[in-house]
Chains A and B, each alone.
Chain A
Amino acid sequence: MHIVHRMHRFARHLLLFLSVCTCTGSLYAQDAAGIAVHGFVSQGFLFSSNNNYLSMKSSDGSLQWTDGAVTISDSLGDNLHVGIQLHMYQLGEFGGPNLQVDWASGDYRVNDHFGIRAGKVKTVWGLFNDSQDIDAVFLWILLPQGSYPIDHKSFYLAHVGGDVYGALFLGKRAGTLHYDGYAGQATVDLNDGYIKQFADLGLVFTNSLGGKTYGGDLRWETPVKGLDIGSSGNVQAVDGTAPTGSIHLPPTFTPSMYAKFSRGKVYLAAEYDREPINATITIGSTAIPYVADGRSWFAMGSYRLSKKFQAGSYYSHYVNKAADTTQPANYSKDWVLSGRYDFNSYFYAKIEGHFLHGTDLGYYTSTNPNGLAPDSKMLAAKIGFTF
């Protein structure tokens, strides 16, 4: 509760700071001599009919969902761009009072076909991996959790290393190919959901886990107006040592295939991902193999009813094919209805209903000591501010 109080106080101070930044009436970033400052802050609420979700006491209604970030960037000439994003969040028992560096990078664009980014860089994978923490750009409060689990965001969001990227213009009849390739190191933050899952098993990490990562994304902006098709692949290894044990995940390939159609008031998207895991968890002298074959897909659609109001729905499907998929503990299927209202260019509110079947994702033993009901209905709400 003490941490929650501090988070709420921080959110109020951040909101006040952001309000002062926009007191000139500007709806855009504050810009002094080329330096651009952007930011966002949001406050969420979650209520669940059964179970406690995402380490929140959501069955009683929880406000433990605060998020804020500031981005500072500058263009040093036509080709070079540098920036940093500092982020604070509290999601149930995840996150904390410390500011984290979401990304901090230099970006040198040689030309439209080739550029280089280096530093802590957001990882391009699937439709939304690199933008999953930017609540302001989405209709949804929660992205499909089978593909973008919010409690594991800190692990998937970025890597320390380098990217090469660019676009190949194929002509009016063939569209444009966008590519991004990267290599580096990814770290599981001590506030991440995976750390909590290991702690629930009796394995308490005091140092961050991590390992080498590399991969790429190829996105085809097709000649059909508004239609993009793409595919990503990521290879990730993880190693970590705790006082009572360790974890080892050999390099693991995670593919994603997706399509998006956006024209006028209509938005449609679908994605299929796979995450096979063959890890070894050692507790004391006992080596425990952990095998999973996560298969997830989602289909979503939205319609902009007016300049200020947008509504939509998605179905998210996740199963662990390496286990008995008839058991709720091995799947998570979610029907979602969402609405978003933009009061103006920088204030917005969202409301969302979830009809969740299965308990494989988003649940923790420590916040559900009496076990889990197989199904849960949830209501989420958020207000946000961004500039």
Chain B
Amino acid sequence: MSKTRFLILLLGSLGSWSAARAQDVVLVANKGVQISEITNADLRAIFLGTRTRFADGSHAVPVTLKGGPVHEVFLKSHVGESPEEFRSEWRKVIFTGQGAMPKAFDTESALIEYVAATPGAVGYVSLISSQDRVKVLAAVK
């Protein structure tokens, strides 16, 4: 890894992404996922638990970050909810016995590690995170 890339990753992990934008958020999936692109409608349905499958019928396992600007931008851009609304929606699901919350990770590296190892997993990271071990999906409206 070059020194420049290392420094960028270090700064990113220290939470300097206070002004993340939609184009700085990358959708990542397990390399076994067949689709190459996904609509915002499908992302919303998957991350809110309405859908459990991708458009090709394969099983989808959504994963999230626990917080931070990348999490916020992803939710607003692709799910149409604020982190507070998202958390509230899932609390309703959990406390009514209608499902389980998506796995959530403290760091992007942990999320990538899980996505790489879990068939059907789909999540999101910042542009600077290494995406070598996962598949990048294009988001379409």
Interface set of A (CB-CB < 8 Å, partner B): 27-29, 36, 38, 40, 69, 71, 73, 75, 78, 81, 83, 85, 103, 105, 107, 109, 111-112, 117, 121-122, 130-131, 133-134, 136-137, 167, 169, 172, 176, 178, 225-226, 262-264, 304, 307, 342, 345, 386
Contact = CB atoms under 8 A, between A and B. Distances in A.
Contacts of A133: 95
B101 A134 contact: no
Given A36-B101, A107-B99, A112-B52, 9 more contacts: A28-B101, A40-B95, A71-B97, A81-B99, A111-B53, A112-B50, A262-B85, A307-B84, A345-B87
Contacts of B45: 167, 169, 176
Which of B66, B67, B92 is the most central at the interface, judged by chain A CB atoms within 10 Å of its CB?
B92
Given A73-B100, A176-B50, A28 B95 contact: no
B80 interface: yes
A34 B94 CA distance: 14
Contacts of A178: 50
Contacts of B104: 28
A264 B98 CA distance: 25
A-B pairs with lowest CB-CB distance, top 9: A134-B95, A103-B97, A122-B96, A137-B88, A130-B96, A131-B92, A137-B92, A137-B91, A112-B51
Chain A residues touching B, majority SS: strand
B97 A85 contact: yes
B82 interface: yes
Contacts of B82: 264, 304, 307
B96 A131 contact: yes
Contacts of B67: 27, 345
A27 B97 contact: no
A136 B91 contact: yes
Interface residues of B, number: 27
Contacts, number: 87
B21 interface: no
- Among B82, B91, B97, residue most surrounded by chain A Cβ atoms (within 10 Å): B97
Contact of B84 (A36, A107, A134, A342): A342
Contacts of B52: 78, 109, 111-112
A28 B97 CA distance: 17
B133 interface: no
Contacts of B99: 81, 107
B94 A71 contact: yes
A169 B91 CA distance: 24
A107 B92 CA distance: 16
B9 interface: no
B41 interface: yes
Given A27-B66, A109-B52, A304-B82, A134 B97 contact: no
A36 B101 CA distance: 9
A225 B97 contact: no
Nearest to A225: B80
Given A134-B92, A172-B41, A73 B51 contact: no
B5 interface: no
A167 B50 contact: yes
19 contacts: A27-B67, A38-B95, A69-B95, A73-B100, A75-B100, A78-B52, A107-B98, A112-B51, A117-B98, A121-B97, A122-B98, A134-B91, A137-B88, A137-B92, A167-B51, A176-B45, A178-B50, A342-B84, A345-B87
B97 A73 contact: yes
Contacts of A117: 97-98
A176 B94 CA distance: 21
Nearest to B88: A137
Given A36-B101, A78-B59, A342-B84, A134 B51 contact: no
A299 B16 CA distance: 42
